[in-house]
Every structure is written in structure tokens, then in C-alpha cells.
Structure 1
Amino acid sequence: MTEAVFHHPRQVLLGAQAGAVALPVCDHYSGVEVRMKKSLALQAEMAAEFGACVFDVTLDCEDGAPVGGEAEHAALVTELALAAAPGMRVAVRVHPVDHPAFDADVAAIVGRAGQRLCHLMVPKVDSLSDVVRAAEALDAAGASQLPLQVLIESPLAVRNAFDIASHPRVQSLSFGLMDFVSAHAGAIPADGMGSAGQFSHPLVVRAKLEIASAAHAFGKVPSHCVVTEFSDANAMSAAARRAADEFGYTRMWSIHPSQIRPILEAFAPGERQIDEAVSIMDAAIRADWAPISFQGVLHDRASYRLYWQVLERAHATGRKLPEVAQAWFL
């Protein structure tokens, strides 16, 4: 019998999408100087603990900069990004494209620290033209390869989510829950912003599903919104699990350090899932990717793709993989 030839699962199963973006499952936001510094320090500490950078740190200009102090805050953010530990993923949220400070944000921050950033987050994107405007600003700042992530925060943006996701510079769509609710002129009650209400109000649920669907349609990453009750660990964990298991999100925002580990836990596959995925992938490789029977169930490339993605998520969340699988992520 001829020995099976090894081809890397990512190339075999994802094909042209093998180079598609794979992001950490947690995106942590902070905009106050002391908290930004603590966030960057925590990121480096947890990277040492997990053996990988398991969450992004996004330094916030939109909510972090005091009115009238936008230029000074942009300068601070630039210095913090440049000083981040090697190998860490650092991003910046700038002001919206129609804000007077947008162009200055991009010129100051991207102009100096663009090579150090993993992406630029643009809030309040309503249409494809807003994405084009942001991409042109990056190009003008000399960062033509820097990806964009965008924040969907209005009913109009939800309507245009598929067009927005189609732009090649867009890497991820995030849902801005609080602005989305407040954009409805009181038609959605305040509890629609809460950890429970955001999963039950029909307009909010529809928006979440539209955003997730648009992102997946174009191979982008859907990023779930905040949980404002940051002192309620149970609410945080429950929301993260629902976002991952029921709404199709593969990434989530954190606004407090206590939320990072619950997000990692909720988005990580369990030990049993990992073991099953490794066994199926190992059998598939031995069969040179032909269909197999595993525990009485037929598997082929469609299911292999699913189980490979389970392992990629395990790796991204710092889960320890069995020895046979570790070589797949070197």
C-alpha cells in the first residue's frame, strides 16, 4: 500500500481561502492612558502564558480623546503603539470618516505607526463609500496594505452590510450595539442594550444576524458587541457563548480586563471537540483526503473543513493541542 502523502490541511481544505484572515477571538478596547498601558502590559503577559497573542488591544481615539484634545490623544496613542512589545497585535480606533479629526488621526497615527498596527478600526460606517473614504486616507498616509475593520452602528449600515463586507480592505465587521439601539429614536427600549435584552429584541437580533451573514459571505470576521455589565461574570460568559454558538460570531469585544478570559473560554472549543477534530483530521490525512468512516459516520472534505476550523480556533485561543496536531501550526 502506498504511503499517504501529507498536504497541509489549510491548503487542501481552504484552497484559495488559505490565506484568509485569522484573528484572535477577543478585541480589547481602552482609551484612557493608564488603562491603555495596563492593557498592553496584560497582552504581553497573557501571550507569554498562552504561547500566542490571544487578544488584540485597540487603542481608542473615538471615545478616548477629550473634545478639543484629539491631536494630543492621537500623539499619545501613536507613542503607545510604537512602544508595544514585539509580536503583539495593536490597533487603533480613529474618529468616523465625517468627523473633523478623522484625517488628522490617520495622518498622525498611521503616518508614524502604520507599520506597527495590525489594523485600523473605523466607527460609524454606513455605506461602501465610507469604506472607500477610509481606504483612500490610509493610502495617502503610506499604509496601502493596512487592513480596515469597521463598526456597524445604524439601521442604514445594517442594510448596507453586504456591500461594506465586500470591500477587499475590510477584514472584520463589528456590531455597535449601543449606538444601534439609540439610533432608533426610542423605538428599542434601554434593556435592548443589556446582556440579556440584546439577544431577545427582534430588531437587535436581526441586525446581529445580518452582520454575521454579511461577514461570512465574503470571508470576513464577524465581531460581536460589548457587554456593558462588566462586573457580572455570568452575564459576560452567557453572552459570549450565545454569540459564538447561536449567532455565528467568531470574535468579540472586551471593554474591561475581566472580560478577556471569559471571551477566550466561550469561543474556544472544548477538550472533547479538540480530540475528535484531531482524530478525524489525522484519519483524513492518512487517507490522503479521501472520504472516511469515523465511528460509523461518513466524513469528507466538507466535514474535514469544519473540523480543521475547530482546530484553528483552538490554536487561536491558546488551547493545548495533542502532539500529532502541533506540527500543523508550526
Structure 2
Amino acid sequence: MPLDPRHARSWLFTPADRPERYPRRDGQGADAVILDLEDAVAPADKRQARENLCRRGSDDPPVWVRINDRTSEHWRDDLAEVALLPAVTGVMLPKAERADDVAATAALLPGGMPVIALVETSLGIENAYGIASEPATFALAFGVADFRRETGLGEAPEAWAYPRTRLVIASRAAGLRGPIDGPAMQLDDVAAVRSEATRGRAGGFTGKLCIHPSQITPVNAAYSPIPEQVDWARRVLEQAARSDGAAVRVDGEMIDRPRLEHARDLLESAVAQSDAESAGT
């Protein structure tokens, strides 16, 4: 059974013009795969990439598809193909700057198909809550490379505090899962990838885009609760079940409703992720 995307930690980009890299039923890998029609595919190869997608069958593992942005000449053609494809969970819309970008995209897709809005510009950051509040929006994601290029931000953490926090707060205010962080650029430094993912989780992000399979394991590790947290959540729920709605004391801590909900969310994600890994998805 595929992992519910609400709990997906690692989101792996795979070029749509490389069908030999498409996920297989018998393979373990990222929590979610995004077949990419945008940056990973040269303009001359866009049509071939769409044709590759059309060869996928209904029995293939479910994927997301990153289409080209709304201002692109390829946007409408991408959507026309994706709307007919089997085994597609949803689409990722790059350079989302306004709620209308998501609404116009959703209007050309089968009803209810979710859209991940990839926010990559200053205007997108400023409009983050409106984008997140659009009914078709499943989650926000941070396009850090394009945002860095537009703004010229350097490596100082304080330079990134505002846009990152804005995405987190906008997502939660709109009732969405926390946003998906942009990819680490390190391909061979597992420790660096995990460190970056750990900081992202501490900052309110709930998953991370990946640009290479080597990043999957450290990202999943960083965004997974440790066993001690899972044990704590179980104890909290066990005590709460016997408290008839009253606050309970667990490990010297007073557990009220917010902490109880945190324990419930943590355990739900941990169980879903563990079950998916056990099933080999």
C-alpha cells in the first residue's frame, strides 16, 4: 500500500525523459517520486518526456508529476497529458506566485487532483497564505535554488529565516501539512544532507525534496521520529485513554490538549511510515 503523501518525508525528482529511472513495484526508495517535466528536461526533449509518461500503466507505482510553470508554453500541453494518465497522485506546479496559478492548473486536471505549489520567488513568498488557502493546494514546497538566484541571499541562516518561516506559518494557517523543503546540493556528503534536513524539520518543514537517491536515507532519518519519541507518544495516548478527557502527567510533564494532539500526529506518521517501509514501497 503506498504511503499516504501527508506523511511523505523524501520527495525524489526523476527526469521524465529517463524512463529507465522510473519507480518499479519491486523497488524501495523515496516516500514519493516526482517525475519531472520541467528543469530536468531540455526544451527539445519535452515532447518525448510526455510520451514516456503516457507509456506508464495503471499498475505502475503512483507518482507526482512536476509540470512546467504557468507562463511556459509547455504548461497547457503538460496538463493535457497528465489529466489522462493513470497512477498519478498529483502535480507539482513550479514558480507558483498567486492562488490563481494553482486554481488555473487544477481546472485542467481531474476533479480533486492535488497540487503542490512550488514557491520559488519573492512574490510567491509574499502570497504564500493565499496560495496555501487555494482549495486545490495540497502543500507548499520551497524552491530554494531559484529563490537564491532571484534574491541573492547568501548562506547566513538569518537571511533565510523570513521566507522559510513564512512558508511554515502560511501552510499551518491554511490547514495544510508543513511545507516541503528544497533539496540539498550535496550529492555525496550524507552527513551534510542529514544535517540540513534536521535543521529543516526543526524549522517546521515536514519533508524534503531530493535530487539524488543517495539523499533519501538521510532525509528519511531526519524527518522520522526517534524510537524514544514514539514510545513517549504511545504512553501519552495510553494515559489519555484512561483520563476521561482530563490532562495527564507523563514523564513529569503535564499533557494538555495541544501536547496530546502532537503525540497523536507523531504516532500516526511513525506508523504510516513504518508500514510503508515494511511493505517495500
Alignment partner of 1:257 out of 192, 209, 213: 213
In 2, Cα distance between equivalents of 1:219 and 1:103 = 29
Unaligned 5+ segments in structure 1 are: 1-19, 48-53, 321-330
Aligned to 2:99: 128
CA drift of 1:136 comes to 1.6
Q: Is it true that 1:283 corresponds to 2:239 in the alignment?
A: yes
Q: Is it true that 1:240 corresponds to 2:224 in the alignment?
A: no
The one-letter amino acid of 1:105's match is D
Aligned to 2:63: 90
Would the aligned equivalents of 2:13 and 2:210 in 1 still touch at CA under 8 Å? yes
Paired residues for 1:124-273 under 5 Å:
124-138=95-109, 143-184=110-151, 187-188=152-153, 192=154, 197=155, 200-221=156-177, 222-245=179-202, 247-273=203-229
The one-letter amino acid of 2:88's match is L
The one-letter amino acid of 2:23's match is L
Would the aligned equivalents of 2:79 and 2:108 in 1 still touch at CA under 8 Å? yes
Alignment partner of 1:102 out of 75, 89, 95: 75
CA drift of 1:230 comes to 1.3
In 2, Cα distance between equivalents of 1:79 and 1:27 = 22
Paired residues for 1:57-76 under 5 Å:
57-76=33-52
In 2, Cα distance between equivalents of 1:268 and 1:30 = 23
CA drift of 1:278 comes to 0.4
- Render the CA deviation track for 1:6-65: whole Å, top value 9, x for unaligned: xxxxxxxxxxxxxx972311111110544x543513x74327xxxxxx600100000233
**Structure 1 range deviating more: 160-169 or 307-316:** 307-316
In 2, Cα distance between equivalents of 1:39 and 1:70 = 16
Would the aligned equivalents of 1:39 and 1:257 in 2 still touch at CA under 8 Å? no
Would the aligned equivalents of 2:142 and 2:181 in 1 still touch at CA under 8 Å? yes
In 1, Cα distance between equivalents of 2:234 and 2:20 = 38
Aligned to 2:279: none
Q: Is it true that 1:307 corresponds to 2:260 in the alignment?
A: no
- Render the CA deviation track for 1:224-260: whole Å, top value 9, x for unaligned: 0010111111110100000001x10011111111111
How has the CA–CA distance of structure 1 residues 44 and 156 changed in structure 2, closer, same or farther, with 3 Å as cutoff? farther
CA drift of 1:301 comes to 2.1
C-alpha RMSD of matched pairs (Å): 2.2
- Provide the TM-score with structure 2 as the length reference: 0.89
How has the CA–CA distance of structure 1 residues 75 and 83 changed in structure 2, closer, same or farther, with 3 Å as cutoff? farther
Would the aligned equivalents of 2:117 and 2:137 in 1 still touch at CA under 8 Å? yes
How has the CA–CA distance of structure 1 residues 44 and 176 changed in structure 2, closer, same or farther, with 3 Å as cutoff? farther
How has the CA–CA distance of structure 1 residues 296 and 201 changed in structure 2, closer, same or farther, with 3 Å as cutoff? closer
Unaligned 5+ segments in structure 2 are: 277-281
For these two proteins, the number of residue pairs brought into alignment is 272
How has the CA–CA distance of structure 1 residues 23 and 319 changed in structure 2, closer, same or farther, with 3 Å as cutoff? closer
The one-letter amino acid of 1:103's match is R
Higher helix share: 1
Would the aligned equivalents of 2:194 and 2:219 in 1 still touch at CA under 8 Å? yes
Would the aligned equivalents of 1:264 and 1:317 in 2 still touch at CA under 8 Å? no
Paired residues for 1:40-59 under 5 Å:
40-41=23-24, 44-46=26-28, 55-59=31-35
In 1, Cα distance between equivalents of 2:184 and 2:233 = 31
The one-letter amino acid of 1:148's match is V
In 2, Cα distance between equivalents of 1:256 and 1:103 = 28
- Provide the TM-score with structure 1 as the length reference: 0.77
In 1, Cα distance between equivalents of 2:165 and 2:121 = 14
The one-letter amino acid of 2:142's match is F
